[in-house]
Structure 1
Amino acid sequence: MNVYAKSSETLPEAADLLQLEQRLIDAGTPFAVVTVIRAAPPTSTCVGAQALVEADGALHGWVGGGCSQTIVIEAARQSMRTGQPRRVRISNEPAPADAKDEAGVEAHAMPCASNGGLELFIQPTVPAPLVAVLGATPAAHEACVLARRVGFRANLAGEAARAGQAGFDAAALDRAGTSFVLIATQGERDEDALEAALRSGAVAVLLIASHRKAERLREAMRLRGIDEARLAALHAPAGPAIHAHTPQEIALGAVAGLVALRHEIAEAAARAQTEAQTATIATESVPPLPPCEALGAPPVPEAQAGRYVNPVCGMSVEITNAKHVVEYGGQKVYFCCDCCKTEFERAPERYLNAGDDLHAEKR
């Protein structure tokens, strides 16, 4: 649910936002803090105003009116997906003469009739990936410590298994939200640990083992019913060859493998997003969003499920969070702000025909 504050009495105080940040950090939930760094009147916010956007699009605080909130929320969610901060300008005016580093600013047209301007800085906080280290060996303990020092959350699992108890549980790994599993059993229930890791939803499984031992364990996993697609998630040996001899050196090599995988996965995700955006631009000629006063402008087609094109100004509106809704001709029409909703209600036939599929609700 979006939290759009309407007055100073309902706006969360800075301390409230800080408490919410801490709760989200403790829960391992991503979020982004949006700060106004430039405000050109007329606008309903000021420099220094802040809001917090959760991963589901819920917005707490106030950084501008309803026309800009859709842009703010989507930019914040993209920032969370990439893990990178960004600067966003929402304005119909040229960049200010004293503005710096224009290459790093993401520009959007201001869709509201007020025609003010905003510049925002968005700082995402994405929880560190969780590594489950399976094993009760000295290398397992060292790897857990090193993983934390290089930005992972790391849990050590293996003491129970060493004592003969059920210590390797795929469901438990999933409940904890495990991203990576590092197996450092080194001869103590290797197959049980590896099977549990591969049956979990972990993105990657790293195994401290020689090439020869790794191949033997791969074959054992096939006999246990692990398919080739899942075996592709197994990385063994766990890290680069550094001719390790001591537990500390073995752990260092394994954690180096974790770091390399973390960056490879992040870079692949960023490339995929860039390619998807490029493909969309190449296949769809989408004009820039017009301001609300551009009455009668044709709406921009929106193919993404769960979104709707505001027929008045052409802005894409997220259906689940829409606050301004009108029912007309047997279908719901969604708007980015009250201004557009009011304009539509004056002459709905001007913007929308009941049988027009272009404006149909996307589910």
Structure 2
Amino acid sequence: MFNELALQIEKHLAQGSNFAIAQVVDRIAPSSGKIGDKAIILETGELIGWIGGGCVRGIVIKEALDVIRNKRYRRVRISPQGGTRETASFKEYVMSCQSKGTLEIMIEPVIPQPELIVVGKSNIARKLVQMASVADFRVSVMASNADVQMFPSVNSLYYRVDFKVFKNFSNTYIIITTQGEDDESSVKKALETSAKYVGFVASRKKAEDIKSYLKAEGITDKRIGQLRSPVGLDINAKLASEVAISILADVIEDFRKEQTNGVSCCGSTSAAATEPMVNDKFVEDYYINPVCNVPVSKKTRSMF
């Protein structure tokens, strides 16, 4: 089982996928989960491995999805007595299964370094790729007539702007640095992906012109509002290298920030924050079990 799990971890790390690792760290018999049992939980809600059955499985999937979104570990205690203690890193549940045992499970997020897609071959693009590679990002470049001499540290190089070559945008940052070479088309294609961060290197005037073009092309106001342009932290950058630093700093800040998603300072969670998500969409075909507060499928009446 350990070898199989290690292979799965290696596989999903190579794919750049976000997932969580859950491990049983304490146990009071009887319970089917034993100390040391572990599993990985994917963003789709799929659990691979073993940490216990019944309500334990449903609780772990529910909490793991939240851990992945928040990028913050959580320790979960499931016992017959239950409890009301809850913080950003700890939560108690009632053990409603017949075993009536107690388990404590540590759930940790595994968030690979982001994929940075740089569109264009400008001087800013070259500096940004160089710095991002040093910061251990996986970097791809899309630009006509580009070559490895321009981008010696790049992981992947494509000679046209076609985002269909990428399968997963959950951990992807796109920066458009075309500077007059097919700006409109490149920004439009980037916004048509599901990438949450799309930046366009431009002046404020150019940015407004691009937004007018996007609106005329049918891009929604909500999506246009998500375009970051001008992009980068305001550090009064002048040189291409300084602009690249400001962009990379903004990307790192966005990647590393804690996404509270409804968790308040006292640990209470909004309804939206507790809903499982698959491929960035809330799963609607389930209800919350009133006994143990875990997702149950409406169709199969089994744990999500």
Q: Shorter-chain TM-score category?
A: 0.7 to 0.9
Percent of aligned pairs with the same amino acid = 28
Q: Equivalent residue for 2:180?
A: 187
Q: CA deviation at 1:279?
A: 10
Q: CA deviation at 1:222?
A: 4.8
The CA deviation string for residues 178-201 of structure 1, in whole angstroms up to 9 with x for no partner, is 743211122333333233323433
Structure 2 contact 20–67 (Cα < 8 Å) conserved: yes
In structure 2, distance between residues paired with 1:66 and 1:111? 9
In structure 2, distance between residues paired with 1:245 and 1:136? 18
Q: CA deviation at 1:334?
A: 4.0
Structure 2 contact 262–272 (Cα < 8 Å) conserved: no
Classify the secondary structure of the residue corresponding to 2:161. Answer: coil
Q: CA deviation at 1:129?
A: 3.8
The CA deviation string for residues 28-84 of structure 1, in whole angstroms up to 9 with x for no partner, is 333221111111122233322222223333333332343422222222222223222
Structure 2 contact 62–274 (Cα < 8 Å) conserved: no
Q: Equivalent residue for 1:319?
A: 297
The CA deviation string for residues 152-177 of structure 1, in whole angstroms up to 9 with x for no partner, is 43311114479xx972235446x453
Q: Equivalent residue for 1:339?
A: none
In structure 2, distance between residues paired with 1:103 and 1:167? 44
Structure 1 contact 161–167 (Cα < 8 Å) conserved: no
Classify the secondary structure of the residue corresponding to 1:243. Answer: coil
TM-score of the two chains, using structure 2 as the length reference: 0.74
Structure 1 contact 82–270 (Cα < 8 Å) conserved: no
Q: 1:267 aligns with which of 259, 278, 286?
A: 259
User: What 5-or-longer segments of structure 2 have no aligned partner?
Assistant: 148-157, 276-282
Q: Equivalent residue for 1:305?
A: 285
Classify the secondary structure of the residue corresponding to 1:34. Answer: strand
Q: Equivalent residue for 1:237?
A: 230
Q: Which has the higher strand share?
A: 2
Alignment length (residue pairs)? 281
CA gap of 1:70–1:246, structure 2 versus 1, over 3 A, is same
Q: 2:91 aligns with which of 94, 106, 110?
A: 106
Structure 1 contact 43–117 (Cα < 8 Å) conserved: yes
Classify the secondary structure of the residue corresponding to 2:269. Answer: helix
CA gap of 1:135–1:89, structure 2 versus 1, over 3 A, is same
Letter in 2 for 1:124: P
In structure 2, distance between residues paired with 1:245 and 1:252? 11
Query: Does residue 22 of structure 1 match 2:47?
Result: no
TM-score of the two chains, using structure 1 as the length reference: 0.64
In structure 2, distance between residues paired with 1:32 and 1:126? 8
Classify the secondary structure of the residue corresponding to 1:88. Answer: strand
User: What 5-or-longer segments of structure 1 have no aligned partner?
Assistant: 1-11, 96-100, 281-302, 321-331, 337-363
Letter in 1 for 2:38: Q
Q: CA deviation at 1:140?
A: 0.7
Q: CA deviation at 1:277?
A: 5.6
CA gap of 1:68–1:152, structure 2 versus 1, over 3 A, is same
Q: For residues 52-201 of structure 1, what are the structure 2 equivalents within 5 Å?
A: 52-93=40-81, 104-150=89-135, 152-160=137-145, 167-172=160-165, 175=167, 177=169, 179-201=172-194
Q: Which has the higher helix share?
A: 1
Structure having the higher Rg: 1
In structure 1, distance between residues paired with 2:33 and 2:117? 45
The CA deviation string for residues 103-124 of structure 1, in whole angstroms up to 9 with x for no partner, is 8421011112332111110112
In structure 2, distance between residues paired with 1:55 and 1:20? 14
